[in-house]
A and B are shown apart, each in its own frame.
Chain A
């Protein structure tokens, strides 16, 4: 859905200024030109099913806990070359439009921060924020700051 919709927004500009888009952007957005109407409709139907399943699950609990990403933070160099998919944990809930929040929940052995995602019921952001706040009050992770080395 995302690539088809992104292409829809960028189509005219892409045709005029294709080379001015970076390689990663133009190939990610440009892929949307090759999604058929039937496939886009199928994606909408899958979204409807997913949203219903999530709604049912959230009738039994106030929130669902997931990793925000399935790997620790990575370097700027990785980001600029072949970055991993950082939307792994967030896209499902962007798709369903359920509210979600990430809070710090620890560090790797190398000292890199780890995030925990909380997903709440539709239109119940208040409960979600209270859960996130209660968690933060019970831990110290969000107070830790990196040591910044200053060189001259």
Chain B
């Protein structure tokens, strides 16, 4: 999570032509912290064979 900083969001927003206000940036920063922490907590130990299922087929 150390890579997520307000400065990085600001630079990336400028690169993507997104005119964030300071309040936008803060709200997005907080939301990203939550999302990225949740992803990290659930990171699979093994990734082979975890391709997304084709259409709505439940994986075996």
Contacts and interface: CB of A to CB of B under 8 A. Distances in A.
Interface of A: 3, 11, 14-15, 18-19, 23, 26-28, 30-31, 33-35, 39, 42-49, 51-52, 55, 97, 122
Most buried by A among B23, B50, B59: B50
17 contacts: A3-B35, A15-B16, A15-B17, A18-B19, A23-B27, A27-B31, A28-B31, A30-B20, A31-B35, A33-B16, A34-B28, A42-B43, A44-B51, A45-B50, A46-B42, A46-B44, A48-B52
Contacts of B23: 23
Contact of A15 (B18, B35, B58): B18
B49 to A, nearest CB: 9
B29 to A, nearest CB: 9
Interface size class of B (residues with CB under 8 A): 20 to 34
Contacts of A34: 4, 9, 12, 28, 32
Interface of B: 4, 9, 12-13, 16-20, 23-24, 27-28, 31-32, 35-36, 39, 42-44, 47, 50-53, 56, 58-59
A64 B16 CA distance: 43
B36 A39 contact: yes
B58 A122 contact: yes
Among A15, A27, A51, A122, max chain B CB count under 10 A is at A27
Contacts of B12: 33-34
Contacts of B27: 23, 27
B2 to A, nearest CB: 14
B39 A51 contact: no
B19 to A, nearest CB: 5
A35 B3 CA distance: 12
A141 B42 CA distance: 38
A23 B39 CA distance: 25
Nearest to A33: B16
